[in-house]
Amino acid sequence: MFIEQGIKKNNEFWKYILGCILIIIASTLGQLPLGIVVAFKSFKSGKTLSNTNDAINLLDSNLSLFLIMLSFVFGFFGLVLVVKYFHKQNLLDVTTSRKKVDWKRVFFSFSLWAIFIVVSTFATYYFSLGELVWNFKPIPFAILFVIATLLIPIQTSVEEYVFRGYLMQGFANLAKNKWFPLVMTSLIFGSMHILNPEVDEMGYLVLVYYIGTGLFLGILTLMDEGMELSLGFHAANNLITALLVTSDWTALRTNSIFKDTSKPGGLMEIFIPVLVIYPILLFIFSKKYQWKNWKEKLTGKIVEENNIITEPHV
């Protein structure tokens, strides 16, 4: 079973706290190039910068995307080193319970969500009354496509490995059940987005969307006994969105095909995905992969006896 793979006597919870600190340090090192470039640009322009977003806005959007994504490359290597040398596990242990990664699951989840984003975006463009405007510029978009395709899947994978893999198993070590890791990773995942510019524009209520997304991805992971579906979904969500739509109030501002000129703040944008779309997706995945024992997989206890992990029926 996936979540039990991290439950070992030498995997005390303090190791996960220290491991997260080491991963954050690695990611911070990856932010140094961005800091250097922004400092040079701000010095050259002579502008006073009030926040990080103002600093990033000084840069070309493709350059800023590249520099932002670099921190996740460093974070990924930090994660691999922590898992291998600190917890004596391999990356497969925090990826899936299967003998190898099921790439068909990754690509199915990616394709399903990518198709939804593409169809809904073009439908919005057609019916948006001018709020979604054409923004396509061939050369900047081609550069964006290369950067995004290479680096955004790394960014989304790092987030999935940290929250749905590493910390999911870490909290299982602490609580010896499944509901606590699911709730805690969802809350932390949502809270990590609190500095996003969307929060400034839409208020703290938008965190419901982020926490709900974390909960959805956690359910995918626990029910499917691996991260393949969450990896595919998250990659499609960030990559296809970055290529299709940008705005002046989102975390990633890109040379995308469309630009959203509307003002944020609609409750529909927050609650429709969480209350309608995600349950539909869970239904589709559950039918395709024949999920059973929902209560046990999402809330069941993990009992350790004589170093053997067993899972009682609830």
Tell me the C-alpha to C-alpha distance, in Å, between residue 127 and each of 121, 130, 261. Answer: 10, 8, 14
Kindly tell me if the per-residue pLDDT of 237 is higher than 80: yes
Secondary structure (DSSP) of 96-138: BSSSS--HHHHHHHHHHHHHHHHHHHHHHHHHSTTSEEE---H
Task: Reduce the DSSP state of residue 51 to 3 states and report it.
Answer: coil
Mean of the pLDDT values across residues 267-281? Answer: 92
Q: How far is CA 264 from the centre of its chain?
A: 21
What is the pLDDT of the chain when averaged over all its residues?
Answer: 89
Q: What is the pLDDT of residues 122-136, one digit of tens each?
A: 999 998 777 899 999
Q: Specify whether the CB–CB gap between 94 and 6 falls below 8 A.
A: yes
pTM to 2 decimal places = 0.92
Task: Reduce the DSSP state of residue 242 to 3 states and report it.
Answer: helix
Q: Which of 285, 269, 273 is nearest to 226 (CA)?
A: 285
Helix axes 168-175 and 179-191, enclosed angle (nearest 10): 130
pLDDT at 307: 44
Kindly tell me if the per-residue pLDDT of 312 is higher than 50: no
The DSSP bridge partners found for residue 177 are: 301
Q: What is the CA radius of gyration of the chain?
A: 20
Q: Specify whether the CB–CB gap between 208 and 271 falls below 8 A.
A: yes
Using pLDDT thresholds of 50, 70 and 90, give the confidence band for residue 201. confident
The DSSP bridge partners found for residue 301 are: 177
Q: How many angstroms separate the CA atoms of 3 and 166, rounded?
A: 9
Mean of the pLDDT values across residues 298-307? Answer: 72
Using pLDDT thresholds of 50, 70 and 90, give the confidence band for residue 11. confident
51-55, 161-165, 209-213: which range is least confident on average? 51-55
- Take residue 88 and report the two structure tokens written for it: 């004596």
The DSSP bridge partners found for residue 245 are: 258
Q: Specify whether the CB–CB gap between 228 and 106 falls below 8 A.
A: yes
Q: Specify whether the CB–CB gap between 222 and 297 falls below 8 A.
A: yes
Kindly tell me if the per-residue pLDDT of 227 is higher than 70: yes
| Residue corresponding to tokens 């039990």 | 4
Q: What is the pLDDT of residues 86-115, one digit of tens each?
A: 999 999 999 999 999 999 999 999 999 999
φ, ψ dihedrals at 296, nearest 5°: -65, -40
